[in-house]
Amino acid sequence: MEIPNTITDAYNLTCEKCSLLAQLGINVETKISQSAKSNEMKSKVLGCADRLQPEAWIYVQFNLDNIIELSLVNNAEDELRRLGINFDTSGCGKLKSWEIDWSFRLLPVNHKDHSNATERKTALRESN
């Protein structure tokens, strides 16, 4: 998976991950983030090209049926983080949430570490 270059690329990749998890049978609900209603939160990012703008802020809730679904969501989250995509998360019991709002950021990634991790994953797949 390619490292995103812009906050929009990162957002689109995160939304694709949510869609993929839904296709795998996980109950995924999205709604407008409560932060989008807060002028204080909006003021943190308005006009900043490297930050996700309020009109795109969403709250994603995963309603999990079992530990396998939790593992799939956690793995997707870990993969996004390895690509430099960072956002607030929470969870308890059978619920896990991603807060794609003012906290959503695209952080620098060490390209060498990323390519080494990709090579290791490919080698593992080929050895199985």
80-126 pLDDT, tens digit per residue, is: 999 999 999 999 999 999 999 999 999 998 765 555 444 444 444 45
Query: Would you say residue 1 has pLDDT above 90?
Result: no
| Residues belonging to the chain | 128
pLDDT classification of 47: cutoffs 50, 70, 90: confident
Give the domain ranges of the chain: 7-127
Rg (CA), the chain: 16
Query: Per-residue b/e over 37-46, b at no fewer than 16 CB within 10 Å?
Result: eeeebbeebe
